[in-house]
Amino acid sequence: MGSGSPAIAANGVLKPPPLSLYIHIPWCARKCPYCDFNSHTRHGPIQELAYVDALLQDLRGEQKLVAGRPLQTIFIGGGTPSLFSAQSIEGLLSGVAEVMALDEALEITLEANPGALESERLPGYREAGINRLSLGIQSLNPDSLQALGRIHGPDEAVMAVERAKQAGFERINLDLMFGLPAQTLEMAQGDLQAAIGLGPSHLSYYQLTLEPNTPFYQSPPDLPDEERLWQIQQQGHEMLLRAGFQQYEISAFSHPQEQCRHNLNYWRFGDYIGIGAGAHGKLSTQDGVIRRRWKRRHPNDYLAAAKGGVPFLQGERVLQAEDLVIEFMMNALRLCDGVEAELFSATTGLDLEYMGEPLNGAIKKGLLYPVDGRLCPTPLGLRFLNDLIAMFEVNRTT
C-alpha cells in the first residue's frame, strides 16, 4: 500500500476535521491496581501553578500547527484532575482562551474522583467554566470498591453527584465497571441500578480488563467467567435501555442529545491537540499529512522541559495509508450506528475502495451491515469488535 493524505478541497487546501483539546493531569492520590494510564501517585504538594504554566507553554507551541481553527471541545483527564484547585483550573481555561479560538458551544469536561475534598471543589469548577463532569465512581458496592483499591466509599459517590447537581452541573457522566472481582450477576445489577438511580445524563459502562504492567495483571483477582460476563453485559444493557438511556458507543450510554462530544470527535477521526505529560495528539496539517504526536511522559521531565526551554514533544509519526485504514476503523466501528462512509475519504483522503477486500469480507461474515452510505457494525460485529477491527489490519506495515 502507498501513502495517503487527508482530503483536499477543490482549491488545493486541506479541509481539516473538527478540533478538540485534551489536557492531561498525571497525578492521583493513589494508583489503582487495574490502572495502566500515565498516572503517578502524589507525594507531597503538587506544583499546580508550574504545571499550568507548562501546559500553556505547550499549547502555544501546538497552536502554530492548527492555524486559528476553533476548539469544539476540551477534556481534562488524568490521573485525577480534581486534585487541582478550582483556581488552577480557572487559570488554565483562561490561558487556553487567550491562545486558542473557541467555538460558541464549547464542551469542557473535567474528570473527577468522588472524594470529599474533590466534592467541595465542584462549585468552583462550575464557575471556572467546566460544563460537563465525569465522575469515576466505578462501583457503589463497598466490597467491590475495596477490591478495586479505590479510596472512596459509596456514600462519597452519592454525595459527589448530589453536590455536582447543586453546583449547577446538568451534564454528569458516571464511570461504572462490571466484571469486578467476585462479582455476581445480582451484584452487577444492583450496582447499575444504584448508579441509574443517581440520575446521570450519561453513563460509561465498561468491563474491567487486566492490562499489562499493572498489579492486577501480575496477580489476577478472581473475575467472573465469560458466561457470567456476557449475562452481566446483556442484562445491564437492557436495564439501561429501559431506564431511557441510548447506547451510542460500545460502552457509552446517554440520554438523547447528551453524548460526550469530545469522545465522539475521537471516534469520528477528528483532530485533537494533546498537552500535558504523556499526552497524545492527532493533527491534520495543511500539507496534506496526518501526524500523531506525543509528549514527554514523566511529569518531572515535562516540568523540566518547561523550565529548560526544550521541546515538550517526545516524538511524532506520519500516518501512512495502511495506518489510516486501521486507525479510522478502530474508532468508527465503536459507534453503534457507525459513521457515514464518506467520512472515511473526508478524513483520510483515501477512496473507500482502498479497503474493499476487508470491507467485503466483514460484510460477508455478518459483522458489517451491507448498507450504502454508512460503515456500521452489526450486533454480531459489536460483540466481536476486536475480530472485526483486526480484519482491517492485515496489510498494515510495522
pLDDT above 80 for 157 = yes
| pLDDT-above-70 percentage for the chain | 95
Residue 396 pLDDT grade (very low, low, confident, very high; cuts 50, 70, 90)? low
Q: Is residue 219 packed enough to be buried (19+ CB in 10 Å), middle (13-18) or exposed (0-12)?
A: exposed
Mean pLDDT to the nearest integer, 317-330: 93
What is the pLDDT at residue 398? 42
Number of CB atoms found within 10 A of residue 32's CB: 18
pLDDT tens, position by position, 243-277: 999 999 999 999 999 999 999 999 999 999 999 99
- Mean pLDDT, the chain, rounded, equals 93
Q: How many Cα neighbours within 13 Å face the side chain of 308?
A: 9
**Residue that wins the pLDDT comparison between 320 and 116:** 320
Q: How many helices (H) and strands (E) does the chain have?
A: 15, 16
Model pLDDT for residues 217-230, shown as the tens digit of each residue: 999 999 999 999 99
> What are the pLDDT digits (tens) for 45-55?
999 999 999 99
User: Model confidence over 53-70: pLDDT tens digits?
Assistant: 999 999 999 999 998 899
- pLDDT, residue 2, reads 34
pTM listed for this prediction: 0.94
Residues of the chain above pLDDT 90, percent? 86
**Residue 8's pLDDT band (boundaries 50, 70, 90)?**
very low
Q: Helices 86-99 & 48-63, crossing angle to 10 degrees?
A: 20
pLDDT of residue 285: 81
pLDDT > 60? residue 9: no
The whole-number pLDDT of residue 394 equals: 65
173 and 133 Cβ atoms separated by less than 8 Å? yes
Q: Is the peptide bond before 356 cis (omega within 30 degrees of 0)?
A: no
- Looking at per-residue pLDDT, the higher value among 317 and 14 belongs to 317
Average pLDDT over residues 348-363: 90
pLDDT at residue 395 is higher than 60: no
Q: Domains along the chain?
A: 19-265 (3.20.20.70), 324-398 (1.10.10.10)
How much is the pLDDT for 80? 95
**pLDDT digits over 72-121, tens only?**
999 999 999 999 999 999 999 999 999 999 999 999 999 999 987 788 99
